[in-house]
Amino acid sequence: MGTNVLGPQKKMIGGMRSRYGDQTLAAWLILPSILVIGGLLIYPLLYNIFISLHDFDLKRLYLGTPFIGLKNYISALTSNYFWSAVGRTLYFTIASVGIELILGIMIALVLNRDFWGRDFVRSILLLPWAIPTVVNGIMWKWIYNSNYGALNGILKQLGLIHSYQNWLGHPITAMNMVILADVWKTTPFVAIMILAALQTIPDSLYEAAQIDGAGPWQAFQHLTLRLIRPSILVVLVIRTMEAFRVFDIIYIITRGGPADGTQVITYFTYNETFNNLNFGLGASLAYLTSLVILVMALIYMKLLRSESNY
C-alpha cells in the first residue's frame, strides 16, 4: 500500500525536476534575498562612495553637487574635530574593552566553579546584556543624575563623597561614566563567551598539572589562559569593532557633550551629516571609519588564523 502511494509521487517529482532543475529553483528562491541585500547594502555602499566624492552639502544645494575628488576626505583628515574624536573613540574602545575583558574573565572563572545557586547566578548575569542599549542609557542617565541619582545617593550614604557630584558635568568624567555604563552592559557577554570556553577544558588537564606540581596561578597562566585564548580573541574582535562604532549609549546619556567631551567618531559623523547636513563629508567620514574597522578586522583575522594553527 505504501509503495502505491509513493509510486505516482515519485513520477510527479521526476517531472518537476526536469522542468525546474535544482539550480534554477535555488536561484529563484535566492533572488528575493539578493534583491533585498543588493538594495539595502550594496547600492547604498556604492552610492555612499559617490556622495563622498561630491560636494553634497544640503545647506548649499544652490551650488549644485559638483565632483570634488578626495576633498571631503582631505578636509576630514585635516580637521581638529576629527582627530580629537578619533582620540576619544580610541580611549573609549581601549578602556571599555580592556575592563570588560578583565572583569569578564574573572566572572567566568568564578562561575566555572561549583557552588550552590550557580545556575541562578549564571542566568541573572545575562540580565544587563538582555537590556536594550537605549534603555540601559536612560537608566544610567538617571543613576548619574546629579540631584536625584542613585550613584550620588549610595556614595553619600557610604560617606565616600560629602556632597552630590555632577558626574556628567565634566568632559573627562562624563566619558568615564559612559564607559562604566557600557562595561556594565557588555561584561556579561564577555563572561558568557569565556565561560563557554572554560567548560571545554577537561578536568584531567588540571589534575595532570597538579601532579606535575603546578600551583593555581601557574595552572591558570599556562593552562587556562592558553586554552581560552581563541575565545578571548573572538571576543576581542567583536567587542573592539562594536566599541569603535559606539553611538547609541552616547546619544542617550550625553549627546556628545559636555563641551564635546564624549564626541566619538560615529557621533561626529552623525553630527556632520544630520545636523550640519554635509552629506559629502559625512559619507567620507563613514568610509574612513569603515576603513579603520576593516584594518582591525584583517589584523584580527590573521591573528585568529595563526591561533587555529596552534
Which residues form the interface with other proteins (CB under 8 A)? 2-3, 6, 9-10, 13, 16, 25, 29, 32, 58-62, 145-147, 166, 168-171, 174, 254-261, 271, 274-277, 279
Minimum CB–partner distance for residue 174 and other proteins (Å): 8
- Sign of the CA dihedral running 42, 273, 49, 237: negative
Nearer to other proteins, 104 or 256 (CB): 256
**Taking the complex as a whole, how short is the minimal distance between the CB of residue 250 and other proteins, in angstroms?**
11
Cβ 292 to other proteins shortest distance, Å: 24
Q: Which residue, 23 or 123, has its beta carbon nearer to other proteins?
A: 23
Least distance in angstroms from the C-beta of 12 to other proteins: 8
Minimum gap (Å) between residue 156 Cβ and other proteins? 14
Nearer to other proteins by C-beta: 44 or 202?
44
Residue number, 84 or 112, with CB nearest to other proteins: 84
Cβ proximity to other proteins: between 10 and 302 the closer is 10
Residue with cell 597562566: 221
Min separation Cβ 82 and other proteins, Å: 14
Judged by beta carbon, residue 35 or residue 225, the one nearer other proteins is 35
